[in-house]
């Protein structure tokens, strides 16, 4: 999170908030999604892991971040 500067909130879904943000190193404007993580769920919430795995599958698009 320290690598990004939050600019403003652009939306919110069931699982978290989405911010317009700037990557400090490159100046790139990105959508930053902050999800609620529950410490008692080992490895993270299933819905968040599912979304990350789908984004990884789409990872060849230059507009989608790589994990």
Ligand X SMILES: Nc1ncnc2c1ncn2[C@@H]1O[C@H](COP(=O)(O)OP(=O)(O)OP(=O)(O)O)[C@@H](O)[C@H]1O
Q: Is 23 exposed, middle or buried (0-12, 13-18, 19+ CB in 10 A)?
A: middle
DSSP E strands in 1-67: the ranges are 4-12, 16-23, 29-35
Shortest CB 67 distance to ligand X, Å: 15
SS3 state of residue 28: coil
Shortest CB 32 distance to ligand X, Å: 9
Q: Known binder of ligand: residue 33?
A: yes
Site string for ligand X, 5-44 (x = CB under 6 A): -----xxxxxxx-x------------x-x-----------
**Interacting residues toward ligand X by CB under 6 A:** 10-16, 18, 31, 33
């Amino acid at each position: 999170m320290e690598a990004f500067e939050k600019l403003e909130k652009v939306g919110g879904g069931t699982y978290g908030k989405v911010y317009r943000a700037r990557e400090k190193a490159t100046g790139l404007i990105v959508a930053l999604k902050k999800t609620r993580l529950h410490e008692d769920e080992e490895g993270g919430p299933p819905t968040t892991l599912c979304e990350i795995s789908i984004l990884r599958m789409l990872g060849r698009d230059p507009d989608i971040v790589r994990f």
